[in-house]
A and B are shown apart, each in its own frame.
Chain A
Amino acid sequence: MHLLVIDLWFILGKATLIACIIGLSFFVAMYTTLAERKVAGWLQDRHGPNRAGPFGIFQPLADGGKLFFKEEIIPLASNKFLFLLGPGLAMVTSLVTSTVIPWAAPVTTATGTFPVQVADVDMGILIVFSVVSVGVYGIMIGGWASNNKFSLIAAIRGASQMVSYELPMGLALIAVIFMTGSLKMSEIVSHQAEHGINFLYQPLGFIIFFICALAECNRTPFDLPEAENELNFGYHQEYSSMKLGFYLFAEYINMFVSAAVMATLYFGGYDIPFVNEASWGLESWIMSAISFGILMIKIAVILFVFIWIRWTIPRFRYDQLMNLGWKKLIPLALINMIISAAVMLWLKK
């Protein structure tokens, strides 16, 4: 009976955390859409949306409301089950990636330590990778089920792009894992808190990882799956109403999660930079809140860079994309990996 009580609390705690993280993901994704349009405006000498509420803060709500009220069209010739499954799959995979990310410093209470992380599994970062690779199915299924040649081309492009860029991403990651010696996200963070952020040791690795993350999120300059001018609208061309909204939204959640992963892997996650926060002697829940804020700031900066890049660089041609991925990034990532392995060995001697 005693065990059961504990389990119930455990489940309740995790369920709350999951609900919070999903809510947070949606909230951040909503406001990333606004930030995207605002930054786009500013970079192009415009104001950006500013009519809905002060500074346009209700714009995402207006956009969402509009999408809900749009007519929902399912093409007759489409495969209905897969057509409906596509956006849901895209959304689920982008949300599931956030499970292993440590969002804040663990909270210590009288009953024990409660990590602000849904699952601190041993193979943490690999979960992110495996789920991200399932994310291809959202695009593939959506593009295939709409029975439209443009969607299909876009979906195939998207799939091959994501598969090719997962390789250098994984290779860049291996160098990080060399340094920390663990796949556990919480240990990667605590290692960086001790030894300084990974970005200092792995700048090239980070750049490779960042480029690949752009490609994985289908962001410009790698937004070939939705190249407006050649493929109309890409794999979600036949989608309308909130199903389209789900696809677009899943993309922003992907951005948020990949920014969180990058902040965790390369910039010390929730750890406050330059200070030894343990010496402050604050209560653990306050520390936890502060560290959560720090992580959010890091994520926000990375998201800004994502947006900044989108409004700077035009889209790559498809052969350029493949050249960059296979002929430039993979060799670079391999060299990076070998050099870091050699240096690690030499330092250990």
Chain B
Amino acid sequence: MTLTNRSKPVDRKPMTFLESIYLWNIMKGMGITISHLFKKKATIQYPEQKRSFSKVFRGLHVLNRDAEGRENCTACGLCAVACPAEAITMEGAERLPGEEHLYREEKYAAKYEINMLRCIFCGLCEEACPKDAIYLSQTFAPANYGRKGFIYKKDDLLIPHPVLEKEAYQKALGEKATNN
């Protein structure tokens, strides 16, 4: 029975003299390799050139701020619950009077860590977040010398301030600027 029509019967004929001196087939093979000399290179020059990601690429996480630069995150923990890899930990804290320009709501994340070695970049945290506080950007985690370096703290994750560091903010937004 044939599953596909691509199967070919094995040729078990003894080699002819021409085949047994290999020369003709070697010439054919050399023709194939020389044709690759003129083909487009499959590799890219990495640090200078980068492959473009698709629009839906899920890369490193970014903790979002609103237009005035206040952190969106309220440390509700939904992202941590949603995370199938249990990569997210956080500690909440209450906003004190005078900190209204820092945090949008009364509660905020005093500590927010994502272990990039555990993370599977599924994007469920982004879906779970009710405050648009976390989303996955279009970059990937750079290499590091130790495991500790892959536990990203709040400083590593927070998006730059939209008013104070405008250029860096726009850069971090990238093509994923959805709600800002």
Contacts and interface: CB of A to CB of B under 8 A. Distances in A.
A47 B30 contact: no
Contacts of A308: 30, 33-34
B83 to A, nearest CB: 39
Nearest to B30: A312
From A39, A45, A47, A312, residue with most partner B Cβ within 10 Å: A312
Contact of B37 (A42, A309, A313): A42
B42 A45 contact: yes
B21 A312 contact: no
A42 B41 CA distance: 8
Nearest to A332: B21
A151 to B, nearest CB: 29
Given A328-B20, A328-B21, A313 B26 contact: yes
Interface string B39-75: 1111101000000000000000000000000000000
A309 B21 contact: no
A207 B41 contact: no
Interface string A77-88: 000000000000
Interface in A193-230: 207
B37 A43 contact: yes
Contact of A43 (B36, B40, B43): B36
Contacts of B45: 47, 50
Contacts, number: 41
Nearest to B38: A42
Nearest to A46: B43
A312 B33 contact: yes
Given A312-B30, A313-B26, A45 B21 contact: no
B14 interface: no
Interface in A278-317: 308-309, 311-313
A58 to B, nearest CB: 17
A43 B33 CA distance: 6
A42 B21 contact: no
B3 interface: no
Nearest to B29: A312
A313 B23 CA distance: 11
A43 B41 CA distance: 10
Contacts of B43: 45-47
B140 interface: no
A77 B40 CA distance: 51
A292 B29 CA distance: 33
Contact of B22 (A42, A44, A46, A324): A324
Nearest to B20: A328
A47 B41 contact: yes
Contacts of B36: 42-45
A35 B70 CA distance: 58
Contacts of A47: 41, 43, 45
Contacts of A44: 36
Contacts of B39: 45
A19 B45 CA distance: 40
A312 B29 CA distance: 6
A311 B34 CA distance: 10
From B23, B32, B40, B41, residue with most partner A Cβ within 10 Å: B41
B41 A311 contact: no
Nearest to A320: B22
A50 B45 CA distance: 9
A50 B30 CA distance: 25
Interface string A19-60: 000000000000000000001001111110010000000000
Given A39-B37, A43-B36, A43-B37, 4 more contacts: A46-B42, A309-B30, A312-B26, A332-B21
20 contacts: A39-B37, A42-B37, A43-B33, A43-B34, A43-B36, A45-B36, A45-B40, A45-B43, A46-B42, A46-B43, A47-B41, A308-B34, A309-B30, A312-B26, A312-B29, A312-B32, A312-B33, A313-B30, A328-B21, A332-B21
